[in-house]
Structure 1
Amino acid sequence: MQKTVDLLKHALSRRSASDWSRRLNTTPSVFTDAKRKGHLSPVIAGNLAIDLGEDAEKWIAIAALEAERDSPMLQRLRQTLLHAKP
């Protein structure tokens, strides 16, 4: 499974953080904070995915999983998603 930081890197290779922040009506610090934390929020991930022509639902789900604390239920869900067919 890819990580939202991969989506962020892809987005920043296409446009600057300033361009994305104007496009998404946010501040460039959203992207700086995401890099520092190692993940995007589901809302930012979904919107970046839409603009990049990626599957927004997939990226929203990945971002939601990244935001959760580790638990047996989270591990079960990750394993299920890893084995799911696209």
Structure 2
Amino acid sequence: MSSTIELLEMALKSKRAATWCRELNISTAAFAQAKKRGRLSPLLAGNIAIDLGESPDHWMAVAALEAERESPLRDRLLASFNRHKP
């Protein structure tokens, strides 16, 4: 599983952060918070994925798993997710 920060880095290689923020109608603080937290929200990850031609479903699932705290249920989903990679 790739991380959403890797998706953000891919996005920033194609356009500047200010351009992304303007196009997605978000504040620059959203990117700053994502970097600080080490993850993107599922909504932001999905929308960036669409613009990069990536699967929004995949990236929203990755973001949702990153947002969950450690638990046996999260570990079970993560194992299943890694087994069924496209």
The TM-score bracket by the shorter chain reads over 0.9
In structure 2, stretches of 5+ residues that fail to align are: none
TM-score for the superposition, normalised by structure 1: 0.97
Alignment partner, residue 31 of structure 2: 31
Hey, what does 2:19 align to over in structure 1? 19
CA distance in 2, matches of 1:62, 1:38: 13
- Give the TM-score normalised by structure 2: 0.97
Does residue 74 (structure 1) correspond to residue 74 (structure 2)? The answer is yes
Shift of residue 29 of structure 1? 1.1
Distance 1:22 1:72, change over 3 A: same
One-letter amino acid of the structure 2 residue matched with residue 38 of structure 1? G
Percent sequence identity is: 49
SS at match of 1:64: helix
Unaligned runs of 5+ in 1: none
